[in-house]
Chains A and B, each alone.
Chain A
């Protein structure tokens, strides 16, 4: 199983970079459950931190400017021999005077305008960013700003750099809190992440398979914060409700896999109301007003429309690939012209199939390695797609079924049973609502438990195919004579042809003889 392979890789990576778990830091006041235990252990093993003479580390104590200079100085291998420095308050008797002096010479730290260094003052998060930036060349990634920092702050660029490199992240409310003091444990974590990239936090990609009833709508929030919506459900109401319930207020790119109404029904609404800047479309045509309104809206709002080619990468984030594996603007069947996309972030692959059928799947298997951790099951689980061979080739750990009440019997029993036969975990927007995937690349999580297989096999959770529609019955008549020509005894009030104007005696029976 691929997932097991992934887990093995993760275990190996963790093993390579954090070989200390299970060993002791030697500090009597630190348990292995401490958040930054691995980072402290790492620095301790390199003798960058040594703790206090009583054998404690005091992780929650604020780190002082002298202690920060010592840790950075040791990490850089600077001369720590005690000495008098240029600062009025740091002579050779002050702990860390050697490292402070060396760090000043290297331009890593500076003192205050009054000539002091203030070695016992705490270091805040802004200063920490400055120190680490001066000490190390940080490779810039995608920058992400915070609402409590501005370009006129001394620490501004340094904060952007530590954030972009995954050394420090902000808070969920979008702040960095530059003035907040840093504890010894936190400073250890920041320094360890600077020295050893495997400790750095990786930005998260979020993918939401929205509950839009019978249809598709998949929201992607890339690690850099850009957003995309793949399909927009059957109607304005359905997509609006789904987006609102997930607190989604903006979408950068809209991707229409194909022009069937259950995929673009709410597209014009999304484009008009969610700030869409670019539309990626299969290039296929339809004659519905839904499709014409969608095109009109793109046109009226001056939005860029792109018809991708097979092999194009339609991502909005350089760290993520969104490769188009299939699209056909001239397909005889609109489903088979769907944009099929492999969304890849690190080791996590998510295969988005639109409504592509088995013919397309066969081509995909011929031309690509379709192996993916998560499969968005094609066409709401219809047996027009998702063959056993395809499931075997994709070898997904998890499969998402996006459907609602329908007349087609989606998802098809055979498809469900095939997924089960291949040990695939099944999730359903119909049963579970919106399904959310979080991934940092080398691992991912899903916000729901897989549906119990035994229940699914019993089909009590899977809607049965709707009964065949009865031949349509005439329900509208000009008068009772016409009605009685079809229904000689008249109709009762539960009959669709019943009208109160034909029920003069108001006895619940219209046009009786």
Chain B
């Protein structure tokens, strides 16, 4: 696993699928227990590896920005076709 920015694609049965932000075709599946903060689908995180342990920092501002960007685009598309 590389250090860097990841997005939580999905969480299933205690496993978290992370997409590597630089190339989302690369993914990592890791245990939910390894996170020491609440996580949700769509969260953008910065993952560091320290002392062989994952250290994750939620990027709240970027997560919010992306959510807003998606919502705005979806709203525009829906409105266009009404």
Q: Which residue of A lies closest to B43 (CB)?
A: A287
Q: What 3 A-B pairs come out closest when comparing CB atoms?
A: A287-B66, A287-B42, A305-B77
Q: Which residue of B lies closest to A296 (CB)?
A: B73
Chain B CB within 8 A of A14 CB: no
A287-B41 Cα distance, complex, nearest whole Å: 9
**A472 neighbours in B (Cβ, 8 Å):** 1, 30, 49, 52-54
Q: Is the CB of B29 within 8 A of A469?
A: yes
A292-B66 Cα distance, complex, nearest whole Å: 8
Q: Which residue of B lies closest to A473 (CB)?
A: B52
Q: Is the CB of B12 within 8 A of A382?
A: yes
CB proximity to A under 8 Å, residues B47-82: 49, 52-54, 63, 66-67, 69-71, 73-74, 76-78, 80-81
Q: Taking beta carbons and an 8 Å cutoff, which residues of A are in contact with B?
A: 234-235, 260-261, 265, 281, 283, 285-292, 295-296, 298-299, 304-307, 333-335, 379, 382-384, 407-408, 466, 468-469, 471-474, 476, 486
Shortest beta-carbon distance from A231 to chain B in Å: 14
Q: Is the CB of A474 within 8 A of B49?
A: yes
A379-B17 Cα distance, complex, nearest whole Å: 14
A503-B77 Cα distance, complex, nearest whole Å: 56
Determine the main DSSP class of B at the interface with A. Answer: mixed
Contact of A286 among B27, B41, B49 (CB under 8 A): B41
Given A289-B24, A407-B29: A299 and B73 within 8 A (CB)?
yes
Q: Is the CB of B69 within 8 A of A408?
A: no
Given pairs A281-B74, A305-B74, 19 additional interface contacts (CB within 8 A): A261-B17, A285-B71, A286-B42, A287-B70, A288-B24, A288-B42, A289-B7, A292-B73, A298-B77, A299-B76, A304-B81, A334-B10, A335-B10, A382-B13, A408-B13, A408-B29, A471-B52, A472-B52, A473-B52
**A305 neighbours in B (Cβ, 8 Å):** 74, 77-78, 80-81
Shortest beta-carbon distance from B58 to chain A in Å: 12
Contact of B53 among A296, A304, A408, A471 (CB under 8 A): A471
**B34 neighbours in A (Cβ, 8 Å):** 471
A287-B10 Cα distance, complex, nearest whole Å: 11
A476-B1 Cα distance, complex, nearest whole Å: 10
**A379 neighbours in B (Cβ, 8 Å):** 12
Q: Is the CB of A287 within 8 A of B63?
A: yes
Q: Is the CB of B52 within 8 A of A260?
A: no
**B76 neighbours in A (Cβ, 8 Å):** 299
A325-B28 Cα distance, complex, nearest whole Å: 33
Shortest beta-carbon distance from A314 to chain B in Å: 14
CB proximity to A under 8 Å, residues B1-57: 1-3, 7, 9-10, 12-13, 15, 17, 19, 21, 24-25, 27-31, 34, 41-44, 49, 52-54
Q: Which residue of B lies closest to A278 (CB)?
A: B81
Contact of A287 among B7, B27, B30, B80 (CB under 8 A): B7
Q: Which residue of A lies closest to B77 (CB)?
A: A305
Can you list 24 A-B contacts (CB < 8 A)?
A261-B10, A261-B24, A285-B42, A285-B67, A287-B7, A287-B42, A287-B44, A287-B70, A289-B21, A295-B70, A295-B74, A299-B77, A306-B81, A334-B10, A335-B10, A379-B12, A384-B12, A407-B15, A408-B13, A469-B29, A471-B53, A472-B49, A473-B52, A476-B3
